[in-house]
């Protein structure tokens, strides 16, 4: 999130492309770097607008006082297209020295902007109720290592031909980060973003709403020295005058050498995203897609070892989808998923990739993704990496299913993995009866689905508990390469019999 917050702090404030720059003689390295960031970003905006017959205008002022404080102001910002002019106004960034190679920064965004049509008539604009945005900037790694920002009452409104009155509003946006340097160029710490009260209305009709979004990220041992060098190279490539082939080869070789010298480039990273009370409504049919909550998360740890882990989580609750009765009965209103990959040879794979890339740059061996994939698979088999379905829960109006399992990579097995998994399904019988009735009434789709359910019932082990009936499926991959389902070899006639 360090890089994303950096982009937000600069890009949101400086949304234009270079037209006029007031260059100050004898700028410090930090001031020059900030100016370059602004100009490079604006180059990209300019390219996109010019492709559609538009343009930009603005003036950049960078000044420094005797104490080293830097003031960056972008004024008279205006973006235009074939049929609009967006007058943004002025934004600024003030930086005050805060120790060796560190600045405390304050961002100022325009309180209001105005959008006009090509004839000069006012269409709408934006407004910002309040703002507070401070942070720390470290030029050596070109990163905003700390930030504490709060923006309230953000509104974009307008009246557009053939569309009508449009209003998009956000009650509050908060951004925070706090990274510390563990050792030379290696940084760790958390970052977060929260958004509250998102609403979209067209002609007074509320078509979209989101109560809250929370995102958190935590970095461990991220190499911001390499990240700064790579970012600078990519910015050069994306500039208005892309560099030549010789520069590309030299830069790729330099980055490869830097990556190898500074490896590992990261030790861990985790991210979570949570959304609550979302809806999307159709203004004509009034049908609604909504959910009470959605969560997503990833964790990668031990990336500097040969026992790394990668965990993925996803879940949602209260999902509502405007579909027919049968489909609606199968819509998973609740889902809970957690997958894990463990004992991954991360360090070996990083060295392998670096060596292959370096050989390609030196014209020794062309880089082939398939060759890398095969070699990577050999490393995974030797490491005995593990894939684990810690949980997969599915619940709809008609069915409930739970899946869990664990498989280990094995070079001794023809299947290249051994392990077991169990799936339990509740509600198959009731759904099958319902579909059979629909099929008897001539519903061809229900008949096909009923055949699939009949096969599932035949292959499962039936377990009756009180008034509930569960179908259980125990899957096993054996060291000999056999696939067993409830003890039956799936290489035999079991599957064919079940489908007949």
For 395-423, write each residue's pLDDT tens digit: 999 899 999 999 999 999 999 999 999 99
Which pLDDT belongs to residue 414? Answer: 92
Q: What is the mean pLDDT of the chain?
A: 86
Which pLDDT belongs to residue 18? Answer: 37
Which pLDDT belongs to residue 9? Answer: 34
Which pLDDT belongs to residue 421? Answer: 97
Which pLDDT belongs to residue 22? Answer: 44
For 16-32, write each residue's pLDDT tens digit: 333 444 444 578 888 98
Torsion of CA 24, 140, 102, 149, to 10 degrees: 90
Q: What percent of the chain has pLDDT over 70?
A: 90
Which pLDDT belongs to residue 257? Answer: 85
- Ranges of residues in the chain whose predicted pLDDT is under 70: 1-25, 238-242, 361-367, 492-500
What's the predicted TM-score (pTM) here? Answer: 0.84
Which pLDDT belongs to residue 364? Answer: 58
Which pLDDT belongs to residue 361? Answer: 66
């Amino acid at each position: 999130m360090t890089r994303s917050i950096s982009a937000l702090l600069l890009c949101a404030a400086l949304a234009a492309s270079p037209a006029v720059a007031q260059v100050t003689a004898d700028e410090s390295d930090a001031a020059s770097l900030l100016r370059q960031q602004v100009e490079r970003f604006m180059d990209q905006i300019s390219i996109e607008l010019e492709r559609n017959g538009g343009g930009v205008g603005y003036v950049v002022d960078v000044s420094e006082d005797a104490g080293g404080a830097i003031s960056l102001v972008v004024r008279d910002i205006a973006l235009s297209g074939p049929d609009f002019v967006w007058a943004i106004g002025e934004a600024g960034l003030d930086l005050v020295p805060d120790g060796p190679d560190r600045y405390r920064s304050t961002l100022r965004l325009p309180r209001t902007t105005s959008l006009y049509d090509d004839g000069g008539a006012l269409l709408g604009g934006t407004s910002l109720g309040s703002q507070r945005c401070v942070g720390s900037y470290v030029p050596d790694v070109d990163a905003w290592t700390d930030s504490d920002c709060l923006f309230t009452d953000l509104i974009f409104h307008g009246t557009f031909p053939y569309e009508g009155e449009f209003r998009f509003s956000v009650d509050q946006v908060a951004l925070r980060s706090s990274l510390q340097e563990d050792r030379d160029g290696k940084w760790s710490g958390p970052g977060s973003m929260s958004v509250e009260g998102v609403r979209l209305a067209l002609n007074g009709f509320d078509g979209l709403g989101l109560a809250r979004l929370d995102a958190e990220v935590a970095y461990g041992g991220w190499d911001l020295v390499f990240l700064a060098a790579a970012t600078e190279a990519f910015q050069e490539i994306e500039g208005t005058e892309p560099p030549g082939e010789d520069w590309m080869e030299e830069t790729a070789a330099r980055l490869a050498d830097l990556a190898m010298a500074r490896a590992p480039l990261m030790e861990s990273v985790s991210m979570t995203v949570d959304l609550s009370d979302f809806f999307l409504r159709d203004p004509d049919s009034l049908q609604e897609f909504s959910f009470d909550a959605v969560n997503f998360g990833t964790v990668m740890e031990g990336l500097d070892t040969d026992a790394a882990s990668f965990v993925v989580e996803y879940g949602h609750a209260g999902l509502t989808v405007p579909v027919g009765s049968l489909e609606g009965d199968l819509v998973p209103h609740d889902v809970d998923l957690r997958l894990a990959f463990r004992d991954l040879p991360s360090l070996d794979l990083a060295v392998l990739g670096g060596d292959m890339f370096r050989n390609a740059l030196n014209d020794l061996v062309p880089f082939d993704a398939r060759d890398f994939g095969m070699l990577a698979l050999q490393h995974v088999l030797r490491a005995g990496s593990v894939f684990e379905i810690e949980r997969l829960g599915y619940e709809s109006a008609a069915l409930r299913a739970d899946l869990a399992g664990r498989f280990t990579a094995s070079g001794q097995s023809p299947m290249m993995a051994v392990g077991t998994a169990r799936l339990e399904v509740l509600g198959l019988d009731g759904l099958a009866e319902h579909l059979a009735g629909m099929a008897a009434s001539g519903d061809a789709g229900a008949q096909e689905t009923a055949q699939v359910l009949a096969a599932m019932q035949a292959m499962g082990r039936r377990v009756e508990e009180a008034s509930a009936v569960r179908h259980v499926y125990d899957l096993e991959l054996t060291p000999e390469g056999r696939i067993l389902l409830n003890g039956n070899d799936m290489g035999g006639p079991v599957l064919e019999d079940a489908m007949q």
